[in-house]
Amino acid sequence: MLYLVGLGLADETDITVKGLEAVKKAERVYLEAYTSILLVEKEKLEAFYGRPVIVADRELVESGSDEILADADKTDVAFLVVGDPFGATTHTDLVLRARELGIESKVIPNASIMSGIGCTGLQLYNFGQTVSMVFFTENWKPSSYYDRVKENVDLGLHTLVLLDIKVKEPSLENLARGRMIYEPPRYMTVAQCASQMLETEEERKGGAFGPDSLAVGAARVGAADQRLVAGTLKELAEVDMGRPLHSLVLLGRKTHDLERDYIREFAVDKATFDACWQKAYGASS
Ligand SMILES: C[S@@+](CC[C@H](N)C(=O)[O-])C[C@H]1O[C@@H](n2cnc3c(N)ncnc32)[C@H](O)[C@@H]1O
């Protein structure tokens, strides 16, 4: 059996009882470590699970899946995914490959950032399409995400923006020269995301958002040092939310008064928050 086990959002203790049982009886345990990260070291997982953990990078999962699936028709293999195995990540390829090889698979769900973001007090029902923000470079500033944000904005819905992670990636220069030398890991911050959004708006001028648009930054959701900050994109572009991981939510026009009251508590500046709220939503605060 191939078990796809969700690990939850923060540390080794977020695994479910069912997930832990699958890990304990598995012959081999892989940890998918490139679409998201747990906020603790691999050694902590190994100590808690009582099993050695093999880190599976993108190359192994995407090109070497047969190695992961070897003998899984006779023994159990656990494939650990941070968050939920199917939350904002798809491992359908691996399941399809297992199916082709006649290997059964079972998914053990867990909390995902897609649900964990509810800690902001924003109603999950009021979210539109989730988008991803990638690191801009000097010559590459992809803005296709903007169209989807604009659609959400037009419908009055919130937008969850998931931020780029670069783990074990060669620099463009090294790639061009065929050298597999990896850059140190990089995780996008709320500040980088907000300032890239403002850069895109300057270029697109579609009015989807601007410096005074309200948003919420969420750092380390589910961890003891989780941090939430509400403010304008201009304010969030300056905020330091500490260590990864970070996400951002752009508020939709249909934000309910209860949602507003909840996020106002962690506003960078309550007076600015109220003024921008008044301007954008026309409601009294
Ligand atoms: C591909 S998505 C997450 C997929 C994962 N399978 C899940 O269900 O949560 C990775 C992005 O989600 C966001 N994210 C994940 N965990 C987070 C956390 N604990 N706090 C804040 N943002 C988080 C970050 O923007 C991160 O770059």
Alpha helices, H only, the chain = 17-25, 42-49, 58-63, 65-69, 92-100, 113-116, 144-155, 172-176, 190-204, 233-236, 257-264, 270-281
Binned at pLDDT 50, 70 and 90, residue 20 comes out as very high
Which of left, alpha, beta for 112 (phi over 0: left; psi -120 to 50: alpha)? Answer: beta
Tell whether ligand 1 has an atom less than 6 A from the beta carbon of residue 233. no
pLDDT digits (tens, 9 = 90+) for 53-64: 999 988 888 888
Tell whether ligand 1 has an atom less than 6 A from the beta carbon of residue 163. yes
Percent of the chain with pLDDT over 90: 82
Ligand 1 atom at minimal distance to the Cα of residue 188 = 27
Average pLDDT over residues 152-163: 98
Phi, psi for residue 148 in degrees, rounded to 5: -75, -35
By C-alpha distance, which of 86, 84, 7 is closest to 39? 7
Q: Does 221 show up as a binding residue in the annotation?
A: yes
CA distance 53 to 12: 12
Count of other CB atoms within 10 angstroms of residue 274? 15
The 8-class DSSP code of residue 201 comes to: H
Q: Does 94 show up as a binding residue in the annotation?
A: no
Average pLDDT over residues 147-169: 95
Residue nearest to atom 4 of ligand 1 (CA): 88
Determine the pLDDT at residue 31: 95
Residue with tokens 């996008």: 188
Tell whether ligand 1 has an atom less than 6 A from the beta carbon of residue 82. yes
Q: Does 246 show up as a binding residue in the annotation?
A: yes
pLDDT at residue 175 tops 80: no
Binned at pLDDT 50, 70 and 90, residue 238 comes out as very high
Residue that wins the pLDDT comparison between 35 and 220: 220
Structure tokens at 156: 């009055």
Cβ–Cβ < 8 Å for 4, 81: yes
pTM over 0.75: yes
Tell whether ligand 1 has an atom less than 6 A from the beta carbon of residue 112. yes
Average pLDDT over residues 102-127: 97
Distances in Å between the alpha carbon of 234 and those of 191, 214, 215?
Answer: 9, 9, 10
Distance from the alpha carbon of residue 110 to the mean position of ligand 1, in angstroms: 13
The 8-class DSSP code of residue 75 comes to: S
Distance from the alpha carbon of residue 245 to the mean position of ligand 1, in angstroms: 7
Q: Does 84 show up as a binding residue in the annotation?
A: yes
CA distance 94 to 116: 25
Ligand 1 atom at minimal distance to the Cα of residue 163 = 25
By C-alpha distance, which of 142, 153, 243 is closest to 197? 142
Determine the pLDDT at residue 284: 45
CA distance 58 to 38: 16
Distance from the alpha carbon of residue 75 to the mean position of ligand 1, in angstroms: 30
pLDDT at residue 251 tops 90: yes
Percent of the chain with pLDDT over 70: 99
Q: Does 96 show up as a binding residue in the annotation?
A: no
Cβ–Cβ < 8 Å for 197, 133: yes
What domains, with CATH codes, occur in the chain? 2-111 (3.40.1010.10), 114-282 (3.30.950.10)
Distance from the alpha carbon of residue 36 to the mean position of ligand 1, in angstroms: 6
3-state secondary structure of 175: helix
